A and B are shown apart, each in its own frame.
With several copies, the nearest count.
Chain A
Amino acid sequence: MVMILKERVIENRIMGDPIQMLYKMVISGQAAQTATPGQFVHLQVADSNEPLLRRPLSIAGIDKNTEEVTIYYKVIGKGTELLTRIKENEYISVLGPLGTGFTVPDSGELLLVAGGIGIFPLLSLIQAVDKEKVKLKLLWGGENKQFIESAGLIDIEKMGVNLDMSTLDGSLGTKGLVTDLLESYLGDNTDTIAKPKDNGKQNLRVATCGPKGMLQAVTKICLGHNVPVEVSLEERMACGIGACLGCVCTVKDLEGNLKRKRVCKEGPVMDGKEVVWDE
């Protein structure tokens, strides 16, 4: 159930290297009860008209017992800057959980491909997947070592995820793009990949989040290998609940007709195959 509530912020702190401007916020409240991986919350960051709109942030962690959701955010403008000013035990207006999240597989292999802060929504998926039944692998590309460490590398390693990294400057993992990692991974793992006529036997799936260009490249690579891929999209949002049509993404249906889907409602997670990337 979607709700709008004043929820208590129980943690709000900068993570790692201050230059990265990455923050972790834990919010106590009912949003945790029904949240699923890949959904987001729409937060009111100001009690004035500046900025006017709420800010969408992915749910990165869900704890139904303690009723807590965790979000991670990077400061990029006025809205996220105001978020950093919220003190522990202050209240914030939370609209959510919103949107349609990732498919959580219960068998086979799940490959996560993250670009930069695109790791955040994938964290909730890592948390939700039954690691006994599903083989989990994460490919993560970032600017440099400082970024990846600040964005929570140690915590991710603690979650027991098999992880390959790339950085633009080579300061951690392979030097290059995460799509390079993906190419070689899919090349090396042709056995788990479904063949064209292999319906129902597809035991490798990809879930990805990152900059739009990366998502497009990841989708292309995956579809080239006939691997199903779910992409978590971002778009400027106003209402966050499907009412304003501000956040659409274009999709092509089976008959080749163009349609719009709302990133906030039918998304943010979409089937990579149907997304029209260059409109």
Chain B
Amino acid sequence: MSKVSMAIQMSGLSLRNPIITSSGTYGFGEEYSPFCSPSLLGGITVKGITPLPRLGNPVPRLAETPAGLLNSVGLENPGLEGFIRSYLPKLVELDTSVIVNISGFSIEDYAHLASAFQNDSGIAALEVNISCPNIKHGGMAFGTHPESAQEVIAIVRKNTDLPIIAKLSPNVTDIVEMARAVERGGADIISLINTLLGMSIDVKSQKPILANKMGGLSGPAVRPIAVRMVYQVYEAVDIPIVGMGGISTWQDAVEFMLAGASAVSIGTANFINPIAPVDILTGLENYCQQRGYGSVQEIVGLAHQR
């Protein structure tokens, strides 16, 4: 049998294969190295970086729900400077595409963060997390308002020459409208979905389990919502998609690619199976091989035919 070409080209971002790991679930690339060599992966996305260091939320930060996980880490991170000083040098040495995820609380935050990363920084792309509250405008998340989302992406576009991945929030009425907004703003790629806002209450203590009360839902439970959104966005925009949300097996990865994702990202599944990305990659390759595809890119969007 002939080999399947697993490489993926996405407007300016070339990946060895379509398997990426998700922001906030893969630390700064070191933690999982003992299990899963970064050189096997299409890319890794680092924890969301903000301009200043953040302690994040108090614990408990985690709660399990049926086939899902709620987290309220609250963007704990060393801040831009700390990241560049303590983590970036090791990251750029990794034999994989490194995607830096940035999060801000104002347009200026995003401009500042974006300007710190350029084509010569040794990273492959910037992922822009627009799910954070816009503190200058009543705390409404950038990612729930098309104009704000477009504005954020546009300012990032102005400040970096790296490929930009706009990461959409699923907590919206109309994901297509959001996708079109970030496309207009100049995004090269769209990634989705971020977590869904959820809550879990302990019947013993009669209080929310998370110290922060609400948190983001991820894991297999959210997969049908994520697949639907990828499917919808694929029909609406011309830029490629990185699909994520509950992917834990190769079948799940294929599902997202059939829906229209050019690459997929693995988050929560790493916690259960630290070699999930490699298992998924192997399964994906076999799937393509058994069905006679020369390149994995051929399966992207197939579910839209007829």
Q: Which residues of A contact B (CB under 8 A)?
A: 1-4, 44, 49-54, 93, 95, 235-250, 258-260, 265, 279
CA distance A165 to B64 in the complex (A): 36
Q: Would you mind naming 30 contact pairs between A and B with Cβ atoms under 8 Å apart?
A: A1-B34, A2-B35, A4-B275, A49-B220, A52-B64, A52-B69, A52-B219, A52-B268, A52-B272, A53-B271, A235-B60, A236-B59, A238-B62, A238-B268, A239-B271, A243-B25, A243-B27, A243-B31, A243-B32, A244-B25, A244-B27, A245-B73, A246-B61, A246-B62, A246-B73, A247-B59, A248-B56, A258-B55, A260-B56, A279-B58
Asked if B59 and A248 make an inter-chain contact with CB atoms under 8 angstroms apart, the answer reads yes
Asked if B272 and A53 make an inter-chain contact with CB atoms under 8 angstroms apart, the answer reads yes
Q: Which residues of B contact A (CB under 8 A)?
A: 24-27, 31-32, 34-35, 47, 55-56, 58-64, 66-69, 71, 73, 76, 219-221, 248, 268, 270-275
Asked if A54 and B61 make an inter-chain contact with CB atoms under 8 angstroms apart, the answer reads no
In the complex with contacts A4-B35, A52-B219, A243-B31, A236-B62 CB distance below 8 A:
yes
User: Which of B61, B66, B248 touches A248 (beta carbons < 8 Å)?
Assistant: B61
Interface of B is mostly: loop
Instruction: State how many angstroms separate the Cβ of A223 from the closest Cβ of chain B.
Output: 22
Interface of A is mostly: loop
Asked if A49 and B66 make an inter-chain contact with CB atoms under 8 angstroms apart, the answer reads yes
Closest to A238 in B: B271
Asked if B56 and A241 make an inter-chain contact with CB atoms under 8 angstroms apart, the answer reads no
Asked if A245 and B31 make an inter-chain contact with CB atoms under 8 angstroms apart, the answer reads no
CA distance A241 to B64 in the complex (A): 18
Closest to A239 in B: B271
Interfacial chain B residues near A54, Cβ < 8 Å: 271-272
Asked if B69 and A4 make an inter-chain contact with CB atoms under 8 angstroms apart, the answer reads no
Asked if A235 and B35 make an inter-chain contact with CB atoms under 8 angstroms apart, the answer reads no
In the complex with contacts A245-B56, A248-B61, A258-B55, A50-B67 CB distance below 8 A:
yes
| Nearest 3 pairs of A and B residues by beta carbon | A243-B27, A49-B67, A243-B31
Chain A-chain B contacts (Cβ-Cβ < 8 Å), number = 100
CA distance A244 to B273 in the complex (A): 14
Closest to A93 in B: B273
Instruction: State how many angstroms separate the Cβ of B66 from the closest Cβ of chain A.
Output: 5
Asked if A238 and B31 make an inter-chain contact with CB atoms under 8 angstroms apart, the answer reads no
Interfacial chain A residues near B60, Cβ < 8 Å: 235-236
Closest to B34 in A: A2
- Besides the known contacts A44-B272, A245-B56, 5 further A-B residue pairs in the complex with CB atoms under 8 A apart: A50-B67, A52-B64, A52-B268, A236-B63, A238-B268
Interfacial chain A residues near B220, Cβ < 8 Å: 49, 52
Interfacial chain A residues near B219, Cβ < 8 Å: 49, 52
User: Which of B55, B66, B76, B270 touches A239 (beta carbons < 8 Å)?
Assistant: B270
Asked if B61 and A236 make an inter-chain contact with CB atoms under 8 angstroms apart, the answer reads yes
Asked if A238 and B68 make an inter-chain contact with CB atoms under 8 angstroms apart, the answer reads no
Instruction: State how many angstroms separate the Cβ of A66 from the closest Cβ of chain B.
Output: 25
Interfacial chain A residues near B221, Cβ < 8 Å: 49
Most buried by B among A238, A247, A250, A265: A238
CA distance A227 to B31 in the complex (A): 34
Interfacial chain A residues near B25, Cβ < 8 Å: 239, 243-244
In the complex with contacts A50-B66, A235-B59, A246-B62, A241-B274 CB distance below 8 A:
yes
CA distance A258 to B54 in the complex (A): 11
User: Which of A236, A242, A248 touches B31 (beta carbons < 8 Å)?
Assistant: A242
Instruction: State how many angstroms separate the Cβ of A212 from the closest Cβ of chain B.
Output: 11
Asked if B59 and A245 make an inter-chain contact with CB atoms under 8 angstroms apart, the answer reads no
In the complex with contacts A44-B272, A246-B62, A258-B55, A241-B71 CB distance below 8 A:
no
Closest to B57 in A: A248
Closest to A54 in B: B272
CA distance A244 to B34 in the complex (A): 16
Asked if B62 and A52 make an inter-chain contact with CB atoms under 8 angstroms apart, the answer reads no
CA distance A184 to B209 in the complex (A): 37
Asked if A4 and B56 make an inter-chain contact with CB atoms under 8 angstroms apart, the answer reads no
Closest to B24 in A: A244
Interfacial chain B residues near A240, Cβ < 8 Å: 271
Most buried by B among A44, A54, A241: A241
Instruction: State how many angstroms separate the Cβ of B166 from the closest Cβ of chain A.
Output: 23
Interfacial chain A residues near B273, Cβ < 8 Å: 4, 44, 93
CA distance A241 to B28 in the complex (A): 12
Interfacial chain B residues near A244, Cβ < 8 Å: 24-25, 27, 62, 71, 73, 271
Instruction: State how many angstroms separate the Cβ of B188 from the closest Cβ of chain A.
Output: 27
CA distance A244 to B220 in the complex (A): 17
Interfacial chain B residues near A248, Cβ < 8 Å: 56, 59, 61, 76
CA distance A265 to B67 in the complex (A): 25
